[in-house]
Amino acid sequence: LAFVQELETEYPDSPFLAYAYFIAGKANYKINRQQAAVDSYAKYLELRPGLLENYVEEVRGDVFVEAGNYVSALNAYQAALLAPSLNDGINLEVKIATSKAAIGDYAGALADYESISQRTQNDFIKAEMDYFAGYAHLMLDEKEEGYANYLHAVENYPLAYYAYISLFELVEAKIPVNDLSRGITDYAAEQYDVALVALDRYIAENPESDGTAEYYRAKTLYALKRYEDEVAAWEDFIKKFPNNPHWSDAWAEKSYTQWHDLKDLEAGKKTLLDFVHTAPGHPDAADFLMRAARLMESKDDPEEAIALWLRLAEEYPGNNLTPEALFLAGTTSYCLSDYTQAVTLFQRDLILAMDAEGQARAYFWIGKTQSQLNERKAAQDAWQQAQSADPAGYYSERARELLEGTEAFAFPNIYQTKTDSATELAEAAAWLRITFDLPADTDLKSLGQLQNDLRLQRGREFWELGLYNEARLEFESLRMDVSESAVDSFRLANYMLGMGLYRPAIFAARQVLELAGMESHAQSLHAPAYFNHIRYGRYYSDLVDPIAEANGFHPLLIYSVMRQESLFEKFILSAADARGLMQIIPATGKNIANIHGYPVEYTADDLYRPLISIKFGTWYLASNYSLFDDDLYATLAAYNGGPRNAIEWQSLGNGDPDLMLESIRFSETREYVKAIYETYNIYKSIYGVMEE
């Protein structure tokens, strides 16, 4: 704040003064100076009008609410609603309505609640409107209408949080509530004891129910960890309600509890097979056989697993799970050294393979198996077929390596880091002109009409203020709108690249190639070098190269991991709370910081800093690389699926990286390792040279 005051006094004409006021708004808010905060935000808007009114006025409104100044909050929210933005304004309308209620304008608030409820398709917002409307009616001493709103929320949107709040008010007022709605609402709110009481009462009083209460009763018993009772409840549900839409779910839930919570894999398998016997024509029957086979695989009963996969293939030959079942039976037979059966199964899988990757995978494993049978020529032929089946794909690239006798993830001998960006840009522009037959006067260096688009202007402003997610949303909206224009996609890619907004820039560059007919991955790699250097860039090279080399990795591997984790978006936050370029979760970050004593006074937000993220991610990879005896497959699997799981997968692989990959039971982790392998090979083709 002292800096802002100095800037205001000493440099009143500074172009940075507006941004300083915005920062002052945030700083004042953090030290509970609400009026100073809203005043600072207002000064920002005075200096930078016509850009972020929607965002900043909403922030001002929120601060006014915290200060109890609802009249000013209402004015701010209304100003925000009038300003252009990407969102539909529903959340702002809710804030406007609640502000009206806070100043005693219940009639106005009720009209808004009704309008919002009619227009939204979101049940959670509808429940919220019911609750607020109920409260407003009660404030107007309209008790019948108020409790009717509460009841409507509970009976129609029982899974919503505001349904539970409404239920609480109804119970406090001793208003009767349907026990089924009450039980479901309590279940959704994790109030399991009272949910069970309500559901039991409903079932006792409604012996001819449709099974909904029984379904939620079983779910409640699971939440209470009463597993034996839950299994019995599912058995009762299965017998009584064969036409309930949750009938197959009940079998699955019962099996899951048996094998996962009661540790009885045989019982879990039996439940799955009983379902198939009872309903062989059900759409889920093949999936249940697949689950049963996986259970036997986990039980270390490979022969039974193979038998179940073969049963799936025989009884459901047209099911989309059949190729996978044959493949898994093949790899398991391979593990058992039954190569004759394995090659037959891989050949059957090849016939049913539904895409190029599936064909390449089948050919690859046919070759591996024939190699074990000492059928060298047949193995070579199969690998050649695999290599051509899915260019640049995992199995095609691995087949090439086996044909050449090279190792997976081999480091290149020469690392080419110098590029001539200006020349490459000019070559890309020339290619664009020819490919799309552009008029001679087309200006590809400027933004053209894009510079007048408010989304670009708002996006740039958000970016300057450090509001990176908001900036990304603006640019992504614009990018999608120009997806049919090669010229504007090219312009936008260049602009975002210059900003450091790499992820959307990569997508925009890809759009240009798709419009040029380069839709496949392999085709796109033949585009001008400029596009490959955008899509597979050496971003943050001043950090990546020295950190990678200090930890014994080739920098291209770290770029590959970073691209897969975040696509070079430094501010990204995943649903699992993983943060930054290398997607480190806070708990792992804290552990790494404690081990290395760096950085001083570490916080989870440090994970958004490129230096910290790259160091931590590379350190974590290095520690696992040591743990797994320099096995990169296991190292990468551990990065995504956890070291404990990777230990088991590595053991199942028995020193064979290809078998280790297929032993990874998490499909996400398996695809993760394959994707990094593919990306690494592309990076090598662009920046590396392999010498004999």
**pLDDT, tens only, 612-633:** 999 999 999 999 999 999 999 9
Whole-structure pTM value: 0.93
pLDDT computed for residue 521 by the predictor: 79
**pLDDT, tens only, 566-584:** 999 999 999 999 999 999 9
Q: How confident is residue 692, by pLDDT bands cut at 50, 70 and 90?
A: low
CATH number of 243-404: 1.25.40.10
Name the region of 264 (left: φ>0; alpha: ψ -120 to 50; beta: rest). Answer: beta
Whether residue 1 is predicted with pLDDT greater than 90 in this model: the reply is: no
pLDDT computed for residue 690 by the predictor: 62
pLDDT computed for residue 12 by the predictor: 85
Which of 1.10.760.10, 3.10.20.30, 3.40.190.80, 1.25.40.10 is the CATH number of 1-86? Answer: 1.25.40.10
Share of the chain above pLDDT 70, in %: 100
Question: How far apart (Å, rounded) are the C-alpha atoms in residues 78 and 85?
Answer: 13
Mind spelling out the 3-state secondary structure of 309-325? Answer: HHHHHHHCCCCCCHHHH
Q: How confident is residue 199, by pLDDT bands cut at 50, 70 and 90?
A: very high
For all residues of the chain together, what is the average pLDDT? 96
Residue 296 or residue 11, greater confidence: 296
**pLDDT, tens only, 468-522:** 999 999 999 999 999 999 999 999 999 999 999 999 999 999 999 999 999 887 8
Whether residue 74 is predicted with pLDDT greater than 70 in this model: the reply is: yes
Name the region of 64 (left: φ>0; alpha: ψ -120 to 50; beta: rest). Answer: alpha
- The SS3 assignment for 662 reads helix
- DSSP H or E segment with residue 415: strand 414-415
**pLDDT, tens only, 6-39:** 888 888 889 899 999 999 999 999 999 999 999 9
Whether residue 562 is predicted with pLDDT greater than 80 in this model: the reply is: yes
Q: How confident is residue 525, by pLDDT bands cut at 50, 70 and 90?
A: confident
pLDDT computed for residue 691 by the predictor: 60
Q: 80, 53 in Cβ contact below 8 A?
A: yes
pLDDT computed for residue 4 by the predictor: 84
pLDDT computed for residue 333 by the predictor: 98
- Numbered ranges of CATH 1.10.530.10 in the chain: 541-689
Question: How far apart (Å, rounded) are the C-alpha atoms in residues 284 and 279?
Answer: 9
pLDDT computed for residue 349 by the predictor: 97
Which of 1.10.530.10, 3.30.1600.10, 3.40.50.10860, 2.60.120.10 is the CATH number of 541-689? Answer: 1.10.530.10
- Numbered ranges of CATH 1.25.40.10 in the chain: 1-86, 243-404
**pLDDT, tens only, 376-403:** 999 999 999 999 999 999 999 999 999 9
**pLDDT, tens only, 397-434:** 999 999 999 999 999 989 999 999 999 999 999 999 99
Q: Which residues are CB-contacts of 254 (< 8 A; sequence separation ≥ 6)?
A: 230, 231, 234, 235, 238, 271
pLDDT computed for residue 228 by the predictor: 98
Please state the rounded mean pLDDT for residues 126-155. Answer: 98
**What sign does the CA torsion over 436, 442, 446, 451 have?**
negative
pLDDT computed for residue 11 by the predictor: 85
